[in-house]
Amino acid sequence: MAKKEKIFWYTIIGLFFLMQIYPVTRPEVIADNPNDLLKNVDVPENISSMLRSACYDCHSNETIYPWYASIAPVKWIVYDHTEEGREDLNFSEWNALSKSDRVEALDDIIEEVTDGKMPLRFYPLTHKDAKLGEEDRQVLSDWAESLMEEMF
Amino acid sequence: MKKRITILTPFILLFLSYFMFSYTTETLNMNDEVINSITLDEIEIPNDVQEVLKEKCYGCHNTESKGVKSKKKFNIDHLTDGKYSKGKLVSKLGKVVEELEENNMPPEKFLTKYPDKELTTEESKLLMEWAKSQREALMGE
């Protein structure tokens, strides 16, 4: 190996290790959430399993981190998305939301799920169960709509 | 490499101009007759609020609009044609308040082309107060 090439690879490896040291906080996993949607609202089985597999990793406190989520640079993206997802809508805090916040959240769910904006496009690549077909999206959005109606 | 960029430039410009002018078509769709005096049991829109909605918002937020996103997010026609359920109405009114509080609407990009569509502080306040009061009435608070 030429000397220049060696230096190149050592630099790459060095940077990779430096990346691991860079401190980032991992959004905490909380298993017991008394305000969780699924604990307080009677959600049909097919819907709750869809929510769990396609939404709950980012939109609840019960995130399941895959092994590669502890390796930079993937972990930066995962932690960032999880934090942002919880901020926008956290199903674990559902019952603590005001009525108008819940209605707006349901409206957002209808919009984002039918538009195909959620789950984020790359997420199903690593989470097969998160892949929602046309029909799944309709079912999920109909459920959100009916829950919205129930509230009035 | 340099040559390739030169060849691509007109295409890139064409591509960009499409987005710049897509606003124009939306605004031309404004229909003056659609909003008349409205008072449904669900929602009440006083004349001054109607005036602002019509002048500053309706151009994009109507059923005929070419802006798919803008009418999907909030369609002023649906406030009165019964297509928004009570829940939807509450949600949309809440979003009106939120967007106005954050000064997101009308979009900045749109305003550079149509500066006269900018909401004055009074108009923005009027819309927010109207949306808040209607939302509270709908929620029975």
Domain-located, residue A22: no
Check whether B49 has a pLDDT greater than 60.
yes
What integer pLDDT is reported at residue B18 of this predicted model?
Answer: 55
DSSP single-letter state for residue B59? T
Q: Helix, strand, or coil here: B67?
A: coil
Report chain A's mean pLDDT, rounded to a whole number: 92
Q: What is the pLDDT of residues A113-145, one digit of tens each?
A: 998 899 999 999 999 999 999 999 999 999 999
Say yes or no for a CB contact (<8 Å) between A103 and B87.
yes
Q: Hey, where are the domains in chain B? A: 23-139
* B35 within 8 A of B53, measured Cβ to Cβ: yes
Whole-number Å distance between alpha carbons of A132 and B47: 45
Query: Domain residues for A42?
Result: 27-150
Contacts of A99 in chain B (CB under 8 A): 139
Q: How close A93 gets to chain B, by Cα (Å)?
A: 19
DSSP single-letter state for residue B81? S
Contacts of B84 in chain A (CB under 8 A): none
Domain-located, residue A46: yes
Check whether A65 has a pLDDT greater than 90.
yes
Whole-number Å distance between alpha carbons of A146 and B132: 24
Whole-number Å distance between alpha carbons of A88 and A106: 12
Q: Which of B72, B73, B90 sits opposite A103 (nearest CB)?
A: B90
Whole-number Å distance between alpha carbons of A1 and A93: 57
Q: CB neighbours (10 Å) of residue B37?
A: 8
Domain count, chain A: 1
Contacts of A152 in chain B (CB under 8 A): 85-87, 90, 138
Which string of DSSP letters, residue by residue, matches chain A?
A: --HHHHHHHHHHHHHHHHHHHS--PPPPP-S--TT-HHHHS---HHHHHHHHHHTHHHHSS-----GGGGSTTHHHHHHHHHHHHHHH--GGGGGGS-HHHHHHHHHHHHHHHHHT-SS-TTHHHH-GGG---HHHHHHHHHHHHHHHHHT-
Q: Helix, strand, or coil here: B14?
A: helix
What integer pLDDT is reported at residue A10 of this predicted model?
Answer: 94
Q: Which stretch of A131-145, B18-32, B113-127 has the lowest confidence by average pLDDT?
A: B18-32
* B117 within 8 A of B111, measured Cβ to Cβ: yes
Q: Which of B72, B73, B91 sits opposite A103 (nearest CB)?
A: B91
pTM over 0.80: no
Sign, CA dihedral B122-B90-B69-A88, equals positive
Q: How close A4 gets to chain B, by Cα (Å)?
A: 27
